[in-house]
Structure 1
Amino acid sequence: MHIQDVPVRGDDIRLGQFIKLANLVESGGTAKEVIAAGQVAVNGEVDTRRGRHLHVGDVVSLRDPEAGDTGTAARVAAPVDDEDDFFDEATADDNFDPEKWRNL
């Protein structure tokens, strides 16, 4: 079984939010249904609490009820620290006029 790493912001995320973020389900309503039906396992144990807090390293799997086995899985991963996301004044475009953009 292939486990995809899904980066999350912060220290934790709720189970219902995570399975949507990981694209294990299509909507919040579907997330609620599959969790309540016992089709979601966290670290190998079925959990029916949609609000359960997950932490980095937790593995969430979604069982396929027709096949009777684990269909897809995702691991909570630490956020990617992208160094390109900050503003560096030394390398900024000198032609940028903040007043022009501030008044739009």
Structure 2
Amino acid sequence: MTQQIIHIHREPVELYKILKFTGMADSGGGAKNVIADGQVKVNGAVELQKRKKIMSGDSIEFAGVKYTVKLEDSAP
């Protein structure tokens, strides 16, 4: 399984928004659909909550890729 890092600048971020802004889904509606279809795992478990709060250190699995969420320091 491929692994990638998703950088966020604030937390928490809702799951469907992460799928949308990273390009895993083509739109917010598309992101909500794949979540509702049980295609997304958070921390190893199928997640059906579209607005699940994602924090730094969480993992997301979708389409054979595992993503680790990392909070970026926004200070200059």
Kindly state the Cα deviation for residue 41 of structure 1 after the two structures are TM-superposed. 0.3
TM-score of the superposed pair, with normalisation by structure 2: 0.86
Kindly state the Cα deviation for residue 80 of structure 1 after the two structures are TM-superposed. 4.5
Kindly state the Cα deviation for residue 79 of structure 1 after the two structures are TM-superposed. 1.3
Which residue pairs with 1:73 in the alignment?
66
Q: Which runs of 5+ in 1 are unaligned?
A: 64-70, 84-104
The percentage of aligned residue pairs carrying the same residue is 30
Higher percent of residues as helix = 1
TM-score of the superposed pair, with normalisation by structure 1: 0.65
Matches within 5 A, 1:1-104: 1-63=1-63, 71-81=64-74, 83=76
Q: What stretches of structure 1 move > 2 A for 4+ residues in a row? A: 80-83
Q: Which runs of 5+ in 2 are unaligned?
A: none
Higher percent of residues as strand = 2
Relative contact order (C-alpha < 8 Å, sep 6+): which is higher? 2
Query: What do you get for the CA RMSD once the two structures are aligned?
Result: 1.6
Report the number of matched residues: 76
Kindly state the Cα deviation for residue 21 of structure 1 after the two structures are TM-superposed. 2.1
CA distance in 2, matches of 1:42, 1:5: 14
